[in-house]
Chain A
């Protein structure tokens, strides 16, 4: 077994890195709502934390690097819901496109 082999992309402890960013970043309202929805789904047993973790660990290093904190949460939750058959990927993409094009948060449940 080779030294340092098979390191997960999330396993950054001890790796070289630069300055720690100190800027305070306020949480946006949709991010709070998204975390709350994640908690509701998790509490209802729709998925568990290990499954969510797996979606993140499956990302390629490039995807992980380009991803954001809340983006990973949305993507992971979405792929689990598609995988489990609760929603269709095509419909989600279509509706997300529509909402994005409208530029409006109105008329959304």
Chain B
């Protein structure tokens, strides 16, 4: 769970509200509005009604929600990649990041809103994988919204029992000589993985390294290569 905690699974299987079937709905007159090409579901209508009521009662303002949305939008895998690239290049930063990731993030002007954060370093002997078996706890400040696979029940179920098989399905064959450790996140402690720096990247700039680092590699679910 997160401050953004989360419970759950499939992002968009919008079933289960068939009691409110509705045809022939007209589109709003302003097609430029975000998501106007997406049909209004009952779930969204319920949220819009809830928000309007909370604003009317004065519990929150629409502006507060938009400001928080802007803060949440700063979270993206790009932030996690910046941390890792810097750590590859600067051993002292790496030590600080492993000891206190939130303080290290602040050095790069990244504000971490989650309770506790831990960065775990992959080594030639050990590969690390992150899951949240109970819901979808994820370091959103560093990685953004969790991908659909991360919140799927299938991943939550299988990652702890057969991680090597799951990794193989993700295109990552971990040799038997390498130990696989799975870390189960919760609301109070979330993880990011520091992947191994790929061979062939020796002369690369920090910017070039950032561009190599994928979202999934920061969860331990994808290998990295120099190209």
Instruction: Give A residues with C-beta under 8 Å from B.
Output: 8, 10-25, 27-30, 32-44, 46, 49, 52-53, 56, 66-74, 76-78, 81, 86-87, 91-92, 95-106, 108-109
Contacts and interface: CB of A to CB of B under 8 A. Distances in A.
Given A29-B34, A96-B42, A15 B157 contact: yes
A36 B30 contact: no
B25 interface: yes
Given A21-B149, A92-B49, A46 B59 contact: yes
B42 A100 contact: yes
- Report which residue of A22, A28, A35, A96 has the largest number of chain B beta carbons within 10 angstroms of its beta carbon: A96
Given A10-B134, A70-B11, A92-B46, A100 B40 contact: yes
Contact of B65 (A11, A36, A81, A99): A36
Interface residues of B, number: 83
B152 interface: yes
Interface of B: 1-17, 20, 22, 25-30, 33-36, 38-40, 42-57, 59-60, 62, 64-66, 68-69, 72-73, 131, 133-136, 145, 147-149, 151-161, 166, 169-170, 184, 187
Given A17-B153, A27-B145, A68-B11, 15 more contacts: A11-B133, A13-B131, A13-B161, A14-B161, A22-B170, A28-B35, A43-B3, A56-B135, A69-B10, A71-B17, A74-B50, A87-B57, A92-B49, A92-B53, A109-B62
